[in-house]
A and B are shown apart, each in its own frame.
Chain A
Amino acid sequence: MRARPFAVMAMAVALVATAALLITAEQGPGALLPATRSFLDGSMTSPYALGVTLRTATPILLTGLAASLTFRGGLFDVGQPGYLVIGGLTAAVVGSAMPGPAPLALCAGLLAGALGGMAWAAGVAWTTSLTGAAIVVVSLISANLAAGVAQLLTARVFQDPGVSGIVETRAVPDGAMLPLLEPESQLRADVLVALVVVVATTWWGARTASGHRLRMFGGNPEFAALAGTSPDSYRRRLTMMGGAICGLAGGLAIFGEYGRFLAGTLGGNSSPAWLGITMAVLTSRFLFLLPAAFLLAAMETGFEGTQRDLGIGGSLGIVIQALLLGLAALSRRTPSAASE
């Protein structure tokens, strides 16, 4: 554990150096200072920018939590992009179709999102159990399938009839959106909900018997089997738990930002869930996910800022993320496909 702060610092230095190198390569060393300024402007110096960053961080945080949870249990489930997408679609559909007062639509929508994510995860879990295939492959495929299914359902079944040209569902009622926390930053309560979930899960993992059982199971499933927990059933429940959290994240994205499900968002190659998985690979402590998600989101919004102001850096985020994953691959604690 002593090497950890050094490793983190070394990684941070490497990433900053890479970013600086790439910026210099494109526009010369004179661009470094303005690039830094627009990076900070885009990500945190104004309340609005901070709000955008925090909103961006929320799905990353929750999907990262879900992934981290399953990794701790020894499962390399990477289907989070799929659970997120299905959860978002379900939340939007239920939220917009729910009769009655707007707060009911909000609660029903969020619950539906969590259940939708859980249901999709259940599919993954049962397929893995029944076929004995590696969950890493099954979940990856399911993530792709989810994106396609969401596109299909939105375009053919749930399309908003009042809108043409954009594939999206009906909007949820205005009053159903999560309450605004701070008007200048457009910050809504979705960030708060995510924070609560993370803190609650951290407490659960550290202070309850079932939380400890998770770690025990991840360390040695055979021992857990001897102690009476059926490994298959436990793994299924764990996968479904992760799916529920991601589904909730999808619902929060709908009721906290978009107001409707837009086909192509939440899932696919640019899904925030990939960043969440990256985080979960890099750290196993739930609380570390909080600053990590913020930093990853800041990278995204910051580089969007430099792209807007200086025309560089749009793809820098991808390169940095790839580097992060590459470094993570060399870290000792990642669950290996061969050692599950």
Chain B
Amino acid sequence: MIHLLGSTDLWFRTLQASTTLLFVALGGYLALRAGVLLLGLEGQLLLGCLFAVVCAERSGDVWLGILGGVGGSLAVGVIVMLLVVVLRGNDVVVGLAVNVAGAGVAGMLVQGMYGHRGGISSPRLRPLPDVSIPGLDRMPWIGHVLSGQTILTYAGWIVLCLSVWWLSATVSGLTVRVAGLRGGRLASAGRSVVRVRCLTILASSVCVGLGAAQLALGEAVGFQEGMSGGRGFIALVLVFLAGVRPWLIAPLTVCFAWFEAMGLSAQTVGLPAELSDVVPYVAVFVFLLLSRAPGRRRRNPLSGGLTDPVSADGRPQVDQMS
């Protein structure tokens, strides 16, 4: 067990797995700050994986596969955008619809395109190439963990840092935050809340698509039914846990990716294999309970005040005027 905990393999896989969670959580976070709750991340991720694999398989080029993943995710994102932002539909119901329908539509498309149910795997599918960082790869332990990841892993961390900076330090980032807090104020400043939210959802979808590409082409090379494996839901919880501190997404995703990697390695230390489906969700609950100490939360039933965009009850405070 100790040997397992210190193994570079475990930590390598942790970092590898954290990429998808990072991208998906970032996508969900951006949308939530703008005032849209993307409950359909799970379905969006699954469809992104499917499109990534199909594009990579049909073209033989893994980079087109990445584009395919982004494209598939964008397609879902556009539908969500139209239903929730433009037509003012209910974001939760749309999210549920995307999740439920995502699995069904994926199955339908696989059946239609390949004539069989289940998964897609093919020798034509090239995995994402590993990138070896010169100098780093020769370092004894950390080198094995950090070097040799896919390009999306490094890109993910860079994008996260840029996004954190952008949200807090730029005018456009501020616009997005205000859209989530007080949409009405934005309107009186002459900007369109609808436009901001639409653009944010599109950006979120790109992030989710990149996460899908990493999952489908970097981790598991191919598509399988249900391969999103609850990552969309876990990412949502990470988003809520991060609250107004987007940088928290980084340590949180590493933490959960570690649970995921540990769950998969559980078999090697004699624990039941089914634990890998249970441990991440249990960890989520534990995190939720630990992060909100019972005394801190004081719910005044008469107060309608807004404190931050992701308030104590976890809901985006959508202004009436938006």
Q: Which A residues are within 8 Å of any B CB, using their own CB?
A: 76, 78, 127, 130-134, 136-138, 140-142, 144-145, 147-149, 151-152, 155-156, 221-222, 225-226, 231-232, 269, 274, 277, 281, 314-315, 317-319, 321-322, 325-326, 328-331, 334-338, 340
Contacts and interface: CB of A to CB of B under 8 A. Distances in A.
5 contacts: A132-B299, A137-B236, A148-B277, A149-B278, A325-B100
A134 B301 contact: no
Given A131-B291, A145-B282, A232-B299, A330 B83 contact: yes
Given A141-B233, A321-B101, A321-B104, 16 more contacts: A131-B292, A136-B39, A137-B237, A142-B285, A144-B230, A145-B285, A315-B107, A315-B108, A318-B100, A322-B101, A322-B105, A325-B101, A328-B93, A334-B90, A337-B37, A338-B318
A338 B316 contact: yes
B89 interface: yes
Interface residues of B, number: 55
A130 B292 contact: yes
Contact of B104 (A315, A329, A330, A340): A315
A315 B105 contact: yes
B299 A151 contact: no
A335 B92 CA distance: 9
> Main SS of chain A's interface residues?
helix
A152 B275 CA distance: 7
Contacts of B281: 141-142, 144-145, 148
B187 interface: no
Nearest to A143: B233
Interface of B: 37, 39, 83-84, 87-94, 96-97, 99-101, 103-105, 107-108, 111, 226, 230, 233-234, 236-237, 240, 272, 274-275, 277-278, 281-282, 284-285, 288-289, 291-292, 294, 297, 299, 301-302, 312-318
B274 A155 contact: yes
B2 to A, nearest CB: 25
Nearest to B109: A315
A156 B83 contact: no
A333 to B, nearest CB: 9
A57 to B, nearest CB: 18
A16 B318 CA distance: 36
Given A222-B301, A322-B104, A337 B92 contact: yes
Contacts of B294: 130
A98 B105 CA distance: 43
B301 A225 contact: yes
